[in-house]
Amino acid sequence: MAIGVTNAPEKSKSSGSIINDPQVRGIFYQAVTIIILAVLVYWIADNTVENLRRANIASGYGFLNSRAGFDVGQSLIAFTSDSSYGRALVVGFVNTLLVAITGIVTATIIGFLVGIGRLSHNWIIAKLSLTYVEVFRNIPPLLVIFFWYSGVLAILPQARDALALPFDIFVSNRGVAFPRPIFGEGAEYALLAFLVAIAASVFFARYARKRQEATGQRLPVLWTVLGLIIGLPLVTFVAAGAPLTFDLPVAGKFNLTGGSVVGPEFMSLFLALSFYTAAFIAEIVRAGIRGVSKGQTEAAHALGIRPRLTTRLVIVPQAMRIIIPPLTSQYLNLTKNSSLAVAVGYADLVAVGGTILNQTGQSIEVVSIWLIVYLSLSLATSLFMNWYNARMALVER
């Protein structure tokens, strides 16, 4: 203190020169940055306008209403080549979401299994999991996509001698064909029963929780909820006369007819993204479980909590606190990696946008749509993360 730490902002006065004032310098640097940036933006905008004028490209989003003129391989919503560019982009977005959601589900399942496997006391399981992680983490996802697409799926037999699996599933180089369920009259009651079951489960879970807090008695929540959600729709469905038929795929001379077909493009992308992301999720899960200190387990055992309940009530909730934030960013990574679809021709947002870009030359508009869609996805993810972190943060006294 004696050396003289002054809190007053008069320290610059002694040096005398305004040049050495850090505040003045800061303002100067920022002003210079703004000016350079403004000049750069003006120069770019000027060049762009000039280039667009020369190439006869009208800027603006009007092109979204014009006829697309191309077909997309796989689409969940109706699309023909007469539909508009805008609709094509929507189809692409839906396809992106489709592969992202299915991929996330599979990757989570594989990732958790492998991650827990790495911590197993069983030597062979631990080593197998380690091998899985080290192999898939260190190979580019694009290569894995091609591995499935041109290495495995492309050399499957032709459609006319497709491999027949149980349940009328056929695998050929045109993809996987499986029976398509057709719901008849009364199937909507089963859906209704499903919704009722979910609502009932939520109420039951709340009731069980209240009861436990009041009396300390635990109700079998898991089994009741499972019974409700599976049983109620099933009973309703049977009561309605089981209005379900299947459109079975039949091997024809050149192609399979009937049923639903999942193309090799989707399959390869889905498999590659699932396996690749699962390796990262496995490491996150392992780190999360290892992150819960051993004292927690020992304390739970000292309180007489049985091992299985210890895992469920003590370890998992604390591990999830560590796991969820990096897990969400892996989900986001998977969604962004689904843009690799363009390499195998699966019609996702980037692939459809690329086609439109080549047809119309509206590069700025298409790229801006990409940016907006992906940025909103990542913004939504980070909002969720902030909410989750705030909810899960340790309340310390």
Partner 1 sequence: MSTHQASFVRASMIEASPAPALDTGIMLWLRKNLFATPKDTVLTIISLLILAWLVPPAINWLFIDAAWTGGGRGVCATLAQGGTQPEGWSGACWAFVNAKFGQFIFGRYPLEERWRPALVGILFVLFLVPMLIPKIPYKGLNAVLLLVVLPIIATILLPGGWLGLPYVETPLWGGLMVTLALSFVGIAVSLPLGILLALGRRSNMPVIKMLCTVFIEVVRGVPLITVLFMASVMLPLFLPQGVTFDKFLRALIGVSLFASAYMAEVVRGGLQAIPKGQYEGADSLGLSYWQKMNLIVLPQALKLVIPGIVNTFIGLFKDTSLVSIIGMFDLLGIVRLNFTDTNWASAVTPLTGLIFAGFVFWLFCFGMSRYSGFMERVLDRSQR
- Tell me, residue by residue from 129 to 148, as one string, x for binding to partner 1 by CB under 8 A and - for no binding: -----xx-xxxxxxxx-xx-
Q: Which two tokens stand for residue 89?
A: 């982009």
Q: Rank residues 44 and 230 by Cβ distance to partner 1 and give the closer one.
A: 44
Q: According to the binding rule CB under 8 A, does residue 52 interact with partner 1?
A: yes
- Judged by CB under 8 A, the chain residues 364 through 393 that form the site for partner 1 are 364, 367, 370-371, 374-375, 377-379
Residue 168 CB, shortest distance to partner 1, in Å, is 25
Report the alpha-carbon distance of residue 157 to residue 155 in Å, rounded.
6
270 within 8 A of 103, measured Cβ to Cβ: yes
296 within 8 A of 208, measured Cβ to Cβ: no
Report the alpha-carbon distance of residue 214 to residue 321 in Å, rounded.
27
Residue 277 CB, shortest distance to partner 1, in Å, is 13
- Give CA separation, 158 vs 91, 110, 130, 161, 266, in Å: 29, 30, 36, 6, 18
123 within 8 A of 287, measured Cβ to Cβ: no
Residue 113 CB, shortest distance to partner 1, in Å, is 12
- Tell me, residue by residue from 331 to 360, as one string, x for binding to partner 1 by CB under 8 A and - for no binding: -----xx-xx-xx------x---x--x---
- Judged by CB under 8 A, the chain residues 10 through 39 that form the site for partner 1 are 26, 29-30, 33-34, 37
Residue 379 CB, shortest distance to partner 1, in Å, is 7
Residue 38 CB, shortest distance to partner 1, in Å, is 12
The residue count for the chain: 397
- Judged by CB under 8 A, the chain residues 86 through 125 that form the site for partner 1 are 120-125
Q: Rank residues 233 and 365 by Cβ distance to partner 1 and give the closer one.
A: 365
Closest CA to 274 of 164, 389, 110, 159: 110
Q: Rank residues 178 and 370 by Cβ distance to partner 1 and give the closer one.
A: 370
Q: Rank residues 201 and 310 by Cβ distance to partner 1 and give the closer one.
A: 310
- Binding segment for partner 1 (CB under 8 A), chosen from 40-48, 66-74, 212-220, 236-244, is 40-48
Q: According to the binding rule CB under 8 A, does residue 315 interact with partner 1?
A: no
Q: Rank residues 224 and 333 by Cβ distance to partner 1 and give the closer one.
A: 333
- Tell me, residue by residue from 240 to 279, as one string, x for binding to partner 1 by CB under 8 A and - for no binding: ----------------------------------------
* 171: enclosing H helix or E strand: strand 169-172
Pairing of strands 175-178, 260-262: antiparallel
HEC per residue, 200-221: HHHHHHHHHHHHHHHHCCCCCH
Helices and strands: H and E segment counts in the chain = 14, 8
Report the alpha-carbon distance of residue 232 to residue 254 in Å, rounded.
43
C-alpha 262 chain-centroid distance: 19
Residue 263 CB, shortest distance to partner 1, in Å, is 18
Closest CA to 208 of 196, 225, 228, 229: 225
Half-sphere exposure of 319 (CA within 13 A, CB side): 22
Q: Which residues of this protein are in contact with partner 1, per CB under 8 A? A: 5, 26, 29-30, 33-34, 37, 44, 47-48, 50-52, 54, 120-125, 128, 134-135, 137-144, 146-147, 150-152, 154-155, 336-337, 339-340, 342-343, 350, 354, 357, 363-364, 367, 370-371, 374-375, 377-379
